[in-house]
Structure formats: structure tokens, C-alpha cells
Amino acid sequence: MITVERLTKTYGGFRAVDDVSFTAQPGRVTGFLGPNGAGKTTTMRVMVGLTPPTAGTVTINGRGYHDIPNPGRQVGVLLDASAQHAGRTGREILTVGAKTMGLPLARVDEMLAMVSLSDTESGRRLRNYSLGMKQRLGIAHALLGDPSVLILDEPANGLDPAGIRWMRSLLKGYADRGGTVLLSSHLLHEVELIADEMILIGNGTIVAQGDKASLMAMDGNVSVLASSLDDQALAAALTQRGFSVSPEAQGLRVACAPEEVGRAALEAGVVLTELRSGAAGLEDLFLELTASTQREGNIERTEGAQA
């Protein structure tokens, strides 16, 4: 379990992370989601002791990172898959890690097999690796010490669709066996499929957290999109029932539950051709919640904050 309590990190006057608290539970995959520069990486670096916090604490399984005797055996860390010596072979990189942690060398073969890096590939130097291969190697490195907690920064970056699917099932299985997974991403669809729990961060503060259902519920405006063979008649029937109707694209947006539209259509004798939830969806919610932190159209504020 990872517990972040009131974590703040400032650089001069700039608050990179501002009073952030959350937990990542064992048995769950926690997605850490936010636009570039929102403070995800800084938070993760503080977790593993690479950056000292300005205020607040992070504990992993109840201990600060510096108090863990052999951290690689408790926490698997992948912050940057390229942060390895370009002149070392993949196998050598894992060997150095295994030696540090005091693991038998057979563990290296086990991990190489797990991430499907062949003997030829593991014998190549890192500078000849594709980004996807580096990510696989990084995941192997993180899992070397058989840790109970995984902290992964943008692990899907550079993986092809098959690789993303592979990683998803790997992390899912890991969490199902009781592991804690925290992974960050700036891409919602990467996280949405795999994370049981999501933490949305923007501008250094947490803007929302919860599972997918509870995040969707945050979008208070219930509405449906409907189209029919006679939208005018349908609109009239709905207005009569007291729902507000507005035209949208090739149909109508109605502020009510889908069954109300169905009922109105049935009574008015209009044939419905489409009826679906008009909820904004996570993508919109994500953009809306982090809107103030997006770079686009927000330049003055960012400059003001850094001054």
C-alpha cells in the first residue's frame, strides 16, 4: 500500500505538488492521471526518495522509502525506461539490479522470459533497443526483486497496442494476487481500461479521485442523445412532458433519463433510430477538471505562477 499524506513540493515560488493526499490500495491498480507537468512524476520521485518533499509524507507498506532495508525487494520502480546505461546489454542491466538486491542470477532469466525478451535481444546493448523494448526491460527490472508494490511512470509509453494489452494483463494479474500498482499516464484511455481506481491531478493538486463509476457520477447533468424519424414530433412530445430539449448534431439532447425518451416516443408514435447516454464521458470530464492546467489558452496564468 502507498500512502501519500499532504505532500507538497515547491521549487522557488512554483508549487509542483500542492497538498496531495491519496492511497494506492493492495489488490488494485491505481491510475495516476494528469496532463504533462501536472506533478505526477514529481510525486513519484518523492515516493522513492529521489526528491525530498517540502512538506508531507509518503509511506510504502507503512514505512518511509529510506527505512526499507532492501527497497528493490519491496517496491518495483520504473520512472524512466531510458535511464539506463546505453552501453550495457539488457541482460547486464538486470544482472546489476539482481546483484544489488542479492538475487540469484537465475532470476534474471526468469524475468527476461516473463517480458518476452529473447536471448539475442537481451544480449543487445540498450542503445539498440526500441522504446517498447526498453519499457519491457524496465518492467522486468521493476519486478526483479519480487516486490509487493509497483510504481510505474508512463509505462505504456512506446508500447504498441499488443504491448499495451500484454502490460494490462500483467498488471491486472499482479494486482489480483494482492499487489499494489500505481501507474501514471497522461492518456486517459490507457488508464481507464486497467485502473480500478483513478486519481486525477492537475496543476499539482488532486482534482478528482475514485473508481470509474464514481468519477462518471460527478458529471451531474444527466442527458441523453436521441434521434428519430421525426425529431420535431419527438421534441414536441418531450417538451410537453416538461423536459428541456435542444437540437444537437443529427438529433436531440434531452435532459432526462433514456426511458423517458422511449416512453415519449412510444406515445407519440415516433420511431427512434438512436438513443444513448449523453454524459460527457471520462475524457471530457478529465479535460474539464484539468482545464485550468492545460497549456492551451492558459499561458498568462502559468507565467504568473512561475514568476
What are the DSSP E strand ranges found in 12-119? Answer: 14-24, 29-33, 55-60, 75-78
Question: Least distance to other proteins from the beta carbon of 183, Å?
Answer: 15
Question: Least distance to other proteins from the beta carbon of 285, Å?
Answer: 31
- Please say which residue, 40 or 107, places its beta carbon nearer to other proteins: 107
- Please say which residue, 39 or 145, places its beta carbon nearer to other proteins: 145
In sequence order, the 6+-apart residues with CB closer than 8 A to the CB of 188 are 33, 282, 283, 286
- Please say which residue, 97 or 163, places its beta carbon nearer to other proteins: 97
300 φ/ψ angles, rounded to the nearest 5 degrees: -60, -40
- Please say which residue, 87 or 161, places its beta carbon nearer to other proteins: 87
- Please say which residue, 86 or 229, places its beta carbon nearer to other proteins: 86
- Please say which residue, 65 or 243, places its beta carbon nearer to other proteins: 65
* Angle, in degrees to the nearest 10, between helices 106-114 and 90-101: 130
Question: Least distance to other proteins from the beta carbon of 106, Å?
Answer: 6
**51 vs 295: CA distance, rounded Å:** 25
- Please say which residue, 141 or 186, places its beta carbon nearer to other proteins: 141
User: What residues line the site for other proteins (CB under 8 A)?
Assistant: 1, 26, 45, 48-52, 61-63, 65-66, 68-74, 76-77, 79-80, 82-88, 92, 95-97, 99-104, 106-107, 110-111, 114, 141, 143, 145-148, 174-179
Q: What is the per-residue DSSP string for 232-253?
A: HHHHHHHHHTT--EEEETTEEE
Question: Least distance to other proteins from the beta carbon of 286, Å?
Answer: 26
- For residue 31, CA distances in Å to 122, 124, 185, 197, 245 come to 30, 32, 7, 6, 36
Question: Least distance to other proteins from the beta carbon of 53, Å?
Answer: 11
Question: Least distance to other proteins from the beta carbon of 16, Å?
Answer: 11
**111 vs 210: CA distance, rounded Å:** 33
As a whole number of Å, the end-to-end CA separation of the chain is: 37
The b-or-e profile of 159-181 (16+ CB within 10 A means b, else e) is beeebbebbbebbeebbeeebbb
Question: Least distance to other proteins from the beta carbon of 166, Å?
Answer: 14
